[in-house]
Amino acid sequence: MWNEPFGTRLRARLDKYGPLCVGIDPSPELLGAWGLDDSPAGLERFARTVVAAVGDVAAVVKPQSAFFERWGSRGIAVLERVIADLREAGTMVLLDVKRGDTGSAMAAYAEAYLDQGSPLAVDAVTLSPHLGFGSLEVAITKAVANDAGVFVPAGVFVPAGGSTRARDPEADRLRAANAGEVLAGAEAANAGHAPLGPVGVVIGTTPPPPDLPPDLSPNLPLDRLGGAILAPGLGAQGASPADLARLFAGVRQAVVPSVSGAVLADPDRVRDLTLRYRDECADHLSP
């Protein structure tokens, strides 16, 4: 089990393997593209093949829990095995669950994913701040106690020439409204932790709808965050490593670009494409 704080382990992984998080998103469409059945067996073949391809070359791997949960207990059993495979490979696991609740319910979520004795224990999870950043306190406390971390959505950046695919206008509006609170809360939670704190933020890099007020820009005070910045949108959704370097110019060393569809579409090229994106991101995001 872990014996170093989350931020220390994450910094070491990024320095050793380069700045990249690979998502495992076994959607029905991707299973079909791989010639697999949309079934728990197809789900397991897909996910564990991805783990075998990237587990020893990516700093972080991010399973999307929803695609496992859709199969009930059979899907959760596959997720447990995937997490075990990743941990055996020494890979950091960020489980994309976006849980958000209060009181005992949030405590139960934290126990499920952040308690080192849980079969679903991972290095970090995504949380939703829709009930206010304060509602996440019990999960953050559990994370710190277990040398784990959390990532909280905090906004959207717009890369030049990016695509408008896969945007959720209502989600973008909520993130815009909550961004200030999330960044302030994360900064406070990370105080005293080095090299990175337990609370990271998620800042998307695909364009928001044109009517969204431009509240989020490269002028956000990210240099005071003290935590990692998960940056989804790389590849198929329109962002390039060069976009990330420009948008996060002052905090490049804290950025963890996330890619999924762009490396998962062809089962024979998952590893090669992962290495290509990893190396390009390292070139552009080096301090």
- CA 42, CA 55: separation in Å to the nearest integer? 19
Cα angle vertex 211, ends 206, 216, to 5°?
50
Write down the pLDDT at residue 164. Answer: 40
**Do 111 and 121 touch, CB atoms closer than 8 A?**
no
Write down the pLDDT at residue 52. Answer: 97
Annotation says 98 is catalytic: yes
For 148, residues 6+ apart whose C-beta sits below 8 A from its C-beta are 2, 6, 114, 116, 121, 122, 123, 124, 125, 142, 198
List helix spans (H) across 191-269: 241-247, 261-264
Both tokens assigned to 175 = 């993130």
What is the CATH topology of the domain spanning 6-236+253-285? TIM Barrel (3.20.20)
Q: Where along the chain do its domains lie?
A: 6-236+253-285
Write down the pLDDT at residue 168. Answer: 57
Q: Give which of 229, 257, 228, 254 is closest to 244, Cα–Cα.
A: 257
Write down the pLDDT at residue 218. Answer: 42
Write down the pLDDT at residue 169. Answer: 59
Write down the pLDDT at residue 93. Answer: 98
- CA 268, CA 238: separation in Å to the nearest integer? 23
Q: Which residue is catalytic, options 16, 62, 98, 142?
A: 98
Write down the pLDDT at residue 179. Answer: 80
Low-confidence ranges of the chain (pLDDT < 70): 1, 156-177, 206-220
